[in-house]
Every structure is written in structure tokens, then in C-alpha cells.
Amino acid sequence: MFKKILTVLVVAIMVIANSSIVHASDSTNGTDEINWIEGPKTVDVGTDLAKLDLPEEYVFADGKDAKKLMKEMDNFITDKEQGIVFSKDEKENWYVLFEFDDIGYIKDSDSKNIDADALLADIKKGTEEDNAERRKSGKSTIDIIGWDEKPHYDPNTHNLVWSVLSTSKGEKIVNYNVRILGRGGVTEVTLVAGKDEMDKVKPKLATIISKYSYKEGKRYSDYIKGDKAAEIGLTALIAGGAGAGAAKVGLLAKILLIFKKVWIVIIVAIGGLFKGIFKVFKRKPKNDNGINTNSEETGFKENPKIDEI
């Protein structure tokens, strides 16, 4: 019996040691300070900008925490971060970042004149310049392969979509971009996922986008003559994807999110484990002859054999 208890204790110590490493990693990266909001719940995106009816399958963190996570993933901070969404399913390694650029009302009159080939050349050039800055700061570089989905615009939803396939650290990564035009600017939605996940994740992004809406007075249709107007059109908006820090990489935040969940599970498991161990050692009072009055409940025999010790 003692051998069994000793084995359990050794396993418990190993679990504690291993989990402490995970917890230390989590704390070091500051993700234990992330305020995760679990769906289903309606959350504010930005300051009096928009709302998101977050489905049950996802978690959300606001703009302040999104910046922390972007930093952890070796992405440049744009100061436009408004929020970030992850799946609760720990097998799904993707995220959706919301940013907002208050450049003003963007006219969509050039929607039929988008030159995808010229834009791709600009994005490649911009990414090469971006990589020079990444190397200086020790961040992962990005190589653009080509379009995963060519740019296209929906005049009914006022959503502009394009998707770029790239590689980073030998992994194929897709930045799927959606720009939701508003009265005072544009919401920049970026889905970052592996190439092999994209077909499965796109419908989920569509669901998330459908549950995002500007607040009253901030919608594209709320435009009033005399409002601040942007100096660029849709083509330049896509070309802006060639700017420094535009491409997003990394799934480290998702890994850290899993670590956080694992740490909680381990703590609960260890708590239950030690309760069981302490229960074994807790003995009933002995009688006047010094004999335990309930040896079966303690788990010990009154006269254990030598080979059981």
C-alpha cells in the first residue's frame, strides 16, 4: 500500500513541476492578465463604435488585450486594435483581429476597377520592406506567395474582401482580410489561419462578420453630406495592406490560451488528488488498546504483510 501511495505522490510532484513550467510561461508572457469574455454574449468593439453578438463557441478580448496578444505573436502594434476572437475549441488554431481606421467615409466608386495583379506586386514590395524592420527587431519574417482569394467588393454589405497566402517559419499562413466600410472610417477584420484550415474556417468568419454591426449613426448608410471623407478609394485601401506591419503572423496566443486552460485543469486535478491522499492518511481515533477502530476506511490493513510495504 505504501508503494502505491509513494507512486501517486511521485506522479503528483511530476505533474506539479510540469504544470509550474506552463504557469510560469503563461505569467511571463502576461496572458494571465487577459480578460477573456466567453460567448454567448454581446460585446462592445471599440469605444462607442460597434457591437459583436459573440456566439457560444468563441471567446473575445478587447482592444487593450488584443495589443498584448499581437505583441506575443511578433506582430507590430498598430494602435488600431479593437478586439480579438478565438475559438473555444483547442483543436482550432486561428484568430480574428478587429481594428478600426478613422480615415473617414470611403467612396466605393472604383469597385469595378481593382487591378489584382498590380496590387499583389505592391503587397510583395511592401512586405519586403516590412521584413527589414522585422529582422531588426528579431521578429519572424513573411514571404508572400500570392492571392488566396482575389479582391472583390459587395455593394450591398459594403464589405471588401481579399486573401493573401504567405509563409512564415516554414508554415503556410493565410491572412483573410475583410474591410467593413462605415460612416467615419473602416473596420479592418483579419483572419489568420493555416492554409489547411482556411476552407473550414471561412464559414465561421462569415458568421462572426454577420454578427458584427456598427452602432446607430456609425453605419455606412448614416453618411451625411459634409462628413469627413477619406482621400482614398477601395484600391488604395487594399494597397494599404502593403504597409509595414499589415500582414499578421503567429498562433502563439492560441497556444498560450490553451496553456491557461490546461493550468486550470491541472490545479483542479491536483486538488482532487491530494484530497484523496489526505483522506487515506486521515485515521479514525484508536480505542483503549491502541487499535484503529476503522481500518477499512483508512485503506490500511491492521497487520500488513512485508511484501505490501
Is 126 a member of any domain?
A: yes
Is 57 a member of any domain?
A: yes
Q: Is there a single domain that holds both residue 228 and residue 86?
A: yes
Averaged over 233-243, what is the pLDDT?
78
For residue 12, the model assigns a pLDDT of 45
Q: pLDDT per residue over 17-46, tens digit each?
A: 344 333 333 433 555 589 999 999 999 999
Q: Is there a single domain that holds both residue 192 and residue 279?
A: no
Is 172 a member of any domain?
A: yes
For residue 193, the model assigns a pLDDT of 87
Is 307 a member of any domain?
A: no
Number of domains in the chain: 2
pLDDT confidence band for 131 (50 / 70 / 90): confident
Q: Is there a single domain that holds both residue 12 and residue 65?
A: no
Q: Is there a single domain that holds both residue 3 and residue 91?
A: no
Q: Is there a single domain that holds both residue 141 and residue 198?
A: yes
| Residue at grid coordinates 470611403 | 106
Q: Is there a single domain that holds both residue 17 and residue 50?
A: no
For residue 158, the model assigns a pLDDT of 96
How far is residue 69's CA from residue 97's CA, in Å, rounded to a whole number?
10
For residue 101, give the nearest of 82, 88, 86, 74 by alpha carbon: 82
Q: Is there a single domain that holds both residue 156 and residue 271?
A: no
Is 80 a member of any domain?
A: yes
Is 76 a member of any domain?
A: yes
Q: Is there a single domain that holds both residue 279 and residue 266?
A: yes
Q: Does an H or E element contain 62, and which?
A: strand 58-62
Q: Is there a single domain that holds both residue 19 and residue 132?
A: no
Q: pLDDT per residue over 240-259, tens digit each?
A: 754 445 678 765 545 555 45
Is 309 a member of any domain?
A: no
How far is residue 106's CA from residue 15's CA, in Å, rounded to a whole number?
56
Q: Is there a single domain that holds both residue 156 and residue 11?
A: no
Read off the CATH number of the domain in which 68 is found: 3.40.1000.10
Query: Which of residues 173 and 59 earns the better pLDDT score?
Result: 59
Q: Is the dihedral of CA 245, 246, 251, 256 positive or negative?
A: positive
Q: pLDDT per residue over 147-164, tens digit each?
A: 999 999 999 999 999 998
pLDDT confidence band for 133 (50 / 70 / 90): confident
Domain that holds residue 12: 1-33+251-283+292-302
Q: Is there a single domain that holds both residue 243 and residue 269?
A: no
> Residue 174 contacts by C-beta under 8 Å, 6 or more apart in sequence?
148, 163, 164, 165, 166, 191, 192, 193, 194, 195, 198
pLDDT at 86 over 70: yes
What average pLDDT is seen over the chain?
Answer: 77
Q: Is there a single domain that holds both residue 101 and residue 167?
A: yes
For residue 1, the model assigns a pLDDT of 52
Spell out the alpha helix ranges (H) of the chain: 2-28, 63-72, 116-136, 198-210, 234-239, 252-281, 295-298
